[in-house]
Amino acid sequence: QVIIDACAQSRYLHVLAPQGAMYAFVGINTDIFPDFSDEQFAMDLLEQKHVLLAPGTSFNVPYHNYFRMTLLPEEKQMREVFLRINELLHDYELQLRRSSNH
């Protein structure tokens, strides 16, 4: 439920409700990030925010705006993870705005 709630509260994220699996695919809003790279995001998230997740393209999906994450961490940890994900996406958005103004 934490993933569903966190995605519903984020302007950057969406998710299909997991159906009994231990994993969820979380999507990034391509209206905000049309050239989003799940692989670069996974690397940036690990290096800058110390969160590890798997790019969706690692699972042979044909799109580059999803990542896979496990549902196993406790609620408090998951909330912190989504806080960090949203922080990085906010940083990305600020960079996009700066680059479009030049």
Per-residue pLDDT, 62: 86
Q: What is the pLDDT of residues 22-72, one digit of tens each?
A: 889 999 999 999 999 999 999 999 999 999 999 999 998 888 999 999 888
Topology given in CATH for the domain delimited by 2-100? Aspartate Aminotransferase, domain 1 (3.90.1150)
Q: Taking the model in full, what pTM does it have?
A: 0.91
pLDDT > 70? residue 102 = no
The pLDDT value recorded for residue 21 is 80
The pLDDT value recorded for residue 100 is 86
Task: Please tell me the distance from the alpha carbon of residue 48 to that of residue 95, in angstroms, as a whole number.
Answer: 15
The answer, yes or no, to whether residue 93 has pLDDT greater than 80, is yes
Phi-psi region of 62 (alpha: psi -120 to 50; beta: other; left: phi over 0): alpha
